[in-house]
Amino acid sequence: MTEKNIIISIFNKSFEDYPILISKASPLLVVELKKIKIDIQDLSLIETISTEDLDEIINKIKNGNQEIVEKIINSKGNNGKLYDELIQNFLKEITNTIDFVYNLIISKQLGG
């Protein structure tokens, strides 16, 4: 991923078919990222993921949020809660990914 923050890159790639959604959700994502305090170490863990695995994560995010995306696209205005749900689902997957990579590294260090 070539963008400065790999998490934002993953978000953009996950929802690349919906540029309006990306433009409206990105500021919310930035705010939430500051709240959960993902640090450089977390970003580095994500950057160790292979391209294949990253593509799998992106597809999982895309497919897992399709219903919410459709609701947002079809809504006529008051969709703030839907955007919040989308961001929370996305961040949950990112957090799970960070935890998975961290646990994998620990397991290898312990000889597992």
Question: What is the overall mean pLDDT for the chain?
Answer: 91
pLDDT of residue 2: 38
Is the pLDDT at 108 greater than 90? The verdict is no
Mean pLDDT of 86-104: 94
Predicted TM-score of the model (pTM)? 0.89
Does 1 fall in a domain? no
Domain, as residue range, for 58: 6-109
Long-range contact pairs involving 82-90 (C-beta distance under 8 Å, separation at least 24)? 83/24, 83/25, 83/28, 84/28, 86/21, 86/25, 87/25, 87/28, 87/29, 87/32, 88/32, 89/61, 89/64, 89/65, 90/11, 90/14, 90/29, 90/61, 90/65
Question: Which residue has better confidence, 112 or 88?
Answer: 88
**Structural domain count of the chain:** 1
Give residue-wise pLDDT tens across range 29-68: 999 998 988 888 999 999 999 999 999 999 999 999 999 9
